[in-house]
Amino acid sequence: MKFTLSWLKDYLETDATVEQLVTALNDIGLEVEGLENPGEALSGFSVGKIIEARQHPDADRLKVCDVETANGMVQVVCGAPNAKTGLTGIFAGAGTYIPGTGVDLQKGIIRGVESAGMMCSQRELMISDEHDGIIELEGDHAVGTSAAEALGIDDPVFDIAITPNRPDALGIYGVARDLAAKGIGTLKPLIINKVSGEFSSDISVSIDLDDDNKACPLFIGRYFRNIKNGPSPEWLQRRLRAIGLRPISALVDITNYVSFAHARPLHVFDADKLDGNITIRMARNGEKINALDEKTYELDDSMTVIADAAGPQALGGIMGGMDSGCSDETINVFLEVALFDPIRTATTGRKLNIISDARYRFERGVDPGFTFDGAELATEMILQLCGGEASDLVIAGKMPDYSRSFFLRSSRVKTLGGLDIKLSQQARILTDLGFAVTEKSDGLECSVPGWRPDVNGEADLVEEVCRIAGLDTIEPVAMPRSDAVAKPVLNLQQRRMLKTRRCLAGRGLHEAVTYSFLPEKLAVMFGGGDECLKLANPISVELSDMRPSLLPNLIAAAGRNHARGYPDVRLFELGQTYKGLEPDEEELRAAAIRTGFDSPRHWAGPNRAVDSFDAKTDIMQALAAAGAPVNSVQIIQGGPEWYHPGRCGTVQLGPKNQLGWFGELHPGVLAKMGIKGPVCGFEMVINNIPAPKRKTSARGALNISDLMAVKRDFAFIVNEDIAAGKLVQAVRGADKKLISDVSVFDLFVGKSVGEGKKSLAVEVTLQPDSQTLTDEDIETVSKKIIDKVGKATGGVLRG
Partner 1 sequence: MAEQPDIEQLQTTLLAEITAAGDDNVLEQIRIGALGKKGSISARMKGLGAMAPDERKAAGQSLNALKSVIADAIAARRDELQAAALEERLLTEIVDVTLPHRPVQTGSIHPVSQVWEEVVQIFGDLGFSVAEGSHIESDWYNFGALNIPDEHPARQEHDTFYFNPGPDGSRKVLRTHTSPVQIHTMEKSQPPIRIIAPGRTFRCDSDQTHTPMFHQIEGLVLDETTHLGNLKWCLLEFCKAFFETDEVKMRFRSSHFPFTEPSMEVDINCSWQDGQVKIGVGDDWLEILGSGMVHPNVIRAGGHDPDKVQGFAFGLGLDRIAMLKYGIPDLRAFFETDLRWLRHYGFSTLNVPTLAGGLS
Q: Per CB under 8 A, which of residues 155..174 are in contact with partner 1?
A: 163-166
Q: How far apart are CA 147 and CA 97, in angstroms?
A: 14
Would you tell me how many other CB atoms lie within 10 Å of the CB of residue 52? Answer: 14
Q: Does 546 bind partner 1 (CB under 8 A)?
A: yes
**Cβ closest to partner 1, residue 220 vs residue 626:** 626
Q: Which residues lie below 8 Å from residue 381, measured CB to CB, with a gap of 6+?
A: 254, 257, 258
**Cβ closest to partner 1, residue 373 vs residue 587:** 587
Q: What DSSP state is assigned to residue 217?
A: S
For the bound state, the minimum distance from the C-beta of residue 716 to partner 1, rounded and expressed in Å, comes to 34
Residues 406 to 425 in contact with partner 1, rule: CB under 8 A: 414-419
Q: Does 536 bind partner 1 (CB under 8 A)?
A: yes
Select from 41, 94, 543, 624 the one that contacts partner 1 (CB under 8 A). 543
Please tell me whether residue 562 adopts helix, strand or coil conformation.
helix
Select from 103, 532, 698, 701 the one that contacts partner 1 (CB under 8 A). 532
Q: How far apart are CA 541 and CA 596, in angstroms?
A: 30
13-to-16, 26, 176, 183, 188 alpha-carbon distances in Å: 9, 19, 9, 11, 7
Q: Which residues lie below 8 Å from residue 237, measured CB to CB, with a gap of 6+?
A: 231, 247, 253
User: Bridge-partner residues for 658, per DSSP?
Assistant: 652
Q: Does 512 bind partner 1 (CB under 8 A)?
A: yes
Binding mask 771-790 for partner 1 (x = CB under 8 A): --------------------
Residues 333 to 352 in contact with partner 1, rule: CB under 8 A: 342-343, 346-347, 350
Chain centre distance of CA 739: 63
Determine the straight-line distance between the first and last CA of the chain, rounded to whole angstroms.
Answer: 92
Q: Does 574 bind partner 1 (CB under 8 A)?
A: yes
**Cβ closest to partner 1, residue 571 vs residue 766:** 571
Residues 350 to 409 in contact with partner 1, rule: CB under 8 A: 350, 363-364
Select from 513, 701, 702, 704 the one that contacts partner 1 (CB under 8 A). 513
Select from 18, 436, 490, 492 the one that contacts partner 1 (CB under 8 A). 490
329-to-219, 250, 310, 340, 386 alpha-carbon distances in Å: 26, 12, 21, 30, 12
**Cβ closest to partner 1, residue 389 vs residue 585:** 585
Plot region of 111 (φ>0 → left; ψ -120 to 50 → alpha; else → beta): left
For the bound state, the minimum distance from the C-beta of residue 374 to partner 1, rounded and expressed in Å, comes to 21
Select from 478, 484, 701, 704 the one that contacts partner 1 (CB under 8 A). 478
Residues 5 to 44 in contact with partner 1, rule: CB under 8 A: 26-29, 31
For the bound state, the minimum distance from the C-beta of residue 730 to partner 1, rounded and expressed in Å, comes to 35
Angle, helices 234-242/250-262, rounded to nearest 10 degrees: 50
Residues 456 to 475 in contact with partner 1, rule: CB under 8 A: 457, 459-460, 462-463, 466-467, 471-472, 474-475
For the bound state, the minimum distance from the C-beta of residue 65 to partner 1, rounded and expressed in Å, comes to 48
* Count of residues in contact with partner 1, rule CB under 8 A: 102
Q: Which residues lie below 8 Å from residue 701, measured CB to CB, with a gap of 6+?
A: none
Residues 579 to 638 in contact with partner 1, rule: CB under 8 A: 581-583, 586, 598-600, 602-604, 607
Closest CA to 757 of 703, 707, 712, 715: 715
**Cβ closest to partner 1, residue 457 vs residue 667:** 457
Q: Does 505 bind partner 1 (CB under 8 A)?
A: yes
Please tell me whether residue 62 adopts helix, strand or coil conformation.
coil
Q: In this chain, which stretch among 113-121, 265-273, 532-540, 668-676 interacts with partner 1, using CB under 8 A?
A: 532-540
**Cβ closest to partner 1, residue 347 vs residue 729:** 347
Residue 92 carries which side chain, given as an amino acid letter? A
**Cβ closest to partner 1, residue 324 vs residue 549:** 549
Inter-residue long-range contacts of 253-260, CB under 8 Å, 24+ positions, other chains counted: 254/378, 254/381, 254/382, 254/385, 255/378, 256/357, 257/381, 258/374, 258/377, 258/378, 258/381, 259/171, 259/357, 259/358, 259/361, 260/1, 260/3, 260/170, 260/171, 260/172, 260/357
**Cβ closest to partner 1, residue 22 vs residue 126:** 22
Select from 354, 533, 670, 686 the one that contacts partner 1 (CB under 8 A). 533
For the bound state, the minimum distance from the C-beta of residue 534 to partner 1, rounded and expressed in Å, comes to 7
92 close to 117: Cβ distance less than 8 angstroms: yes
Binding mask 717-756 for partner 1 (x = CB under 8 A): ----------------------------------------
For the bound state, the minimum distance from the C-beta of residue 556 to partner 1, rounded and expressed in Å, comes to 8
Select from 571, 615, 633, 686 the one that contacts partner 1 (CB under 8 A). 571
Q: In this chain, which stretch among 225-233, 256-264, 303-311, 537-545 interacts with partner 1, using CB under 8 A?
A: 537-545
Q: Does 570 bind partner 1 (CB under 8 A)?
A: yes
Inter-residue long-range contacts of 433-441, CB under 8 Å, 24+ positions, other chains counted: 433/177, 433/178, 433/181, 433/464, 433/468, 434/177, 435/461, 435/464, 436/405, 440/407
Would you tell me how many other CB atoms lie within 10 Å of the CB of residue 157? Answer: 19
599-to-605, 606, 608, 614, 631 alpha-carbon distances in Å: 11, 9, 7, 12, 29
519 close to 672: Cβ distance less than 8 angstroms: no
Residues 198 to 257 in contact with partner 1, rule: CB under 8 A: none
**Cβ closest to partner 1, residue 103 vs residue 603:** 603
Helix residue ranges per DSSP H, 286-436: 342-352, 357-364, 371-386, 412-417, 423-432
Q: In this chain, which stretch among 240-248, 510-518, 670-678, 723-731 interacts with partner 1, using CB under 8 A?
A: 510-518
Q: Does 494 bind partner 1 (CB under 8 A)?
A: yes
Select from 566, 745, 769, 774 the one that contacts partner 1 (CB under 8 A). 566
Closest CA to 173 of 185, 163, 164, 165: 185
**Cβ closest to partner 1, residue 491 vs residue 770:** 491
